[in-house]
Amino acid sequence: MTAEVRADPRTVIMSADDMRRALTRMSHELLERHAGVHGLVLVGIRTRGVPLARRVVNQLSQLEGVQTPYGELDITLSRDDLDRARPRPPRASSLPADIGGSTVVLVDDVLYTGRTIRAAMDALMDFGRPRAIQLMVMVDRGHRELPIRPDYVGKNVPTARQESIEVRLQEIDGIDAVLLRKGRGSAEGEPA
C-alpha cells in the first residue's frame, strides 16, 4: 500500500532577498519622485502593510538621515465587503497628528480588487485632507473592480481568480516570502 503524497500547492514567487530588493527599489523610486521625504507620510494598512511601511520608513531614514512620519491604519469599519457573520473587531489607527497638506503613501501587501484601498482612503479622510494619496504595494495581482492603480509596485503577478497571493513577513509569520497558491481563491486581505 502506498502512502498518498500531497504536493504543496504553493509556489514561491518572491524570496526574502527578492522582497528586500523590491522594498529598496520602491524606496529609491519614492525619493526620486519626491526629491526627498519632505511632506511625505507613510501609512501602513493593517495587517501586513504595517511592517512593510516600517521597513520603508527605516530605509528612507538610512538614505536621507531624517525620520519620515509614519502611521498605521485599520480599515475594518470602512470595508463594504467583509463577512458580516464573522466581523473582525477594529483596532486603533495611529497617524501623525496632522496629515493635512501632506502626500500620504498608503502601503499594503497585495493589491487585488481595490476594495481595501478604497476603504483605506475613506478611513484616511477621518484624519484630515492630504494634498495627495499614493499607493505602494508588494504585489499587484490584477483583477481590479475599482479604478485604482499603485504608484510603487514590488512585483506584478498576473493571477487567475481562483489563485491567491500570500505575503509572509518575518514580523508576523516568522519568514519573508511571497507565495502563489493555486485553486484556493482569495487569501489576502481583499475578499474576492
pLDDT category of residue 92 using cuts at 50, 70 and 90? confident
Q: Which of 23, 10, 27, 17 is nearest to 138 (CA)?
A: 23
Can the peptide bond before residue 47 be classed as cis, meaning omega within 30 degrees of 0?
yes
pLDDT at 85 over 80: no
Q: Residue 80 half-sphere exposure, CB side, CA atoms within 13 Å?
A: 12
Cβ-based neighbours of 35, under 8 Å, separated by 6 or more: none
SS3 content of the chain, % helix, strand, coil (to 5): 30, 25, 45
Average pLDDT rounded to a whole number, residues 104-130: 95
- Give the helix ranges, DSSP H, for the chain: 16-34, 49-64, 115-124, 170-173
Domain spans, the chain: 10-79+90-181
**How does 37-51 read in b/e, with b if 16+ C-beta sit within 10 Å?**
bebbbbbbbbbbbbb
pLDDT category of residue 88 using cuts at 50, 70 and 90? low
pLDDT at 19 over 90: yes
pLDDT of 2 reads: 44
CATH class of the domain whose range is 10-79+90-181: alpha beta
DSSP bridge pairs for 181: 10, 164
